[in-house]
């Protein structure tokens, strides 16, 4: 009986040792999976930052900054306003004269389609 109980004790100890090894292996696997996930997240973040940096460089190179675009629009608007003011100044006398001629020199002709009945 002693040899049987010793054999059973050895089997139980071996089973316990195997269970511990399986548990330890599962822990190592979980740890490796977590580490791989963390590395993947870190790599994704680095890739995203790199792509954002490239996009900002592209925008700065081809589109200019937003302030630059706004400044350019403002300058174009000012130039157009100056051109319009100069055009008004150049043509103001002619326009006033033309309007006064139309007001003072009224032609009282009968319309060509008018017929007496």
DSSP sequence for 5-31: HHHHHHHHHHHHHHHHHHHHHHHHHHH
pLDDT per residue as tens digits for the range 61-105: 877 667 777 888 999 999 999 999 999 999 999 999 999 998 999
What pLDDT does 109 receive? 84
Confidence band of 1 (pLDDT split at 50, 70, 90): low
**Rounded-to-integer distance, Cα 77 and Cα 110, Å:** 49
Straight-line distance from the first to the last Cα atom of the chain, in angstroms, rounded to the nearest whole number: 148
Report pLDDT for 32. 97
Distance between CA atoms of 63 and 69, rounded to whole angstroms?
Answer: 8
DSSP E strands: which ranges in the chain? Answer: none
- Where in the chain are the domains? 65-104
């Amino acid at each position: 009986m002693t040899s049987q109980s010793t054999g059973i004790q050895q089997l139980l100890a071996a089973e316990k040792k195997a269970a511990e090894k399986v548990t330890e292996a599962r822990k190592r696997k979980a740890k490796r999976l977590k580490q791989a996930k963390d590395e993947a997240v870190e790599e994704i973040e680095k890739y995203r930052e790199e792509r954002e940096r490239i996009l900002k460089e592209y925008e700065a190179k081809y589109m200019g900054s937003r302030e630059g675009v706004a400044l350019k629009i403002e300058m174009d608007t000012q130039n157009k306003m100056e051109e319009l003011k100069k055009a008004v100044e150049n043509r103001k006398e002619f326009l006033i004269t033309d309007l006064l001629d139309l007001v003072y020199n009224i032609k009282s002709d009968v319309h060509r389609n008018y017929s007496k009945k």
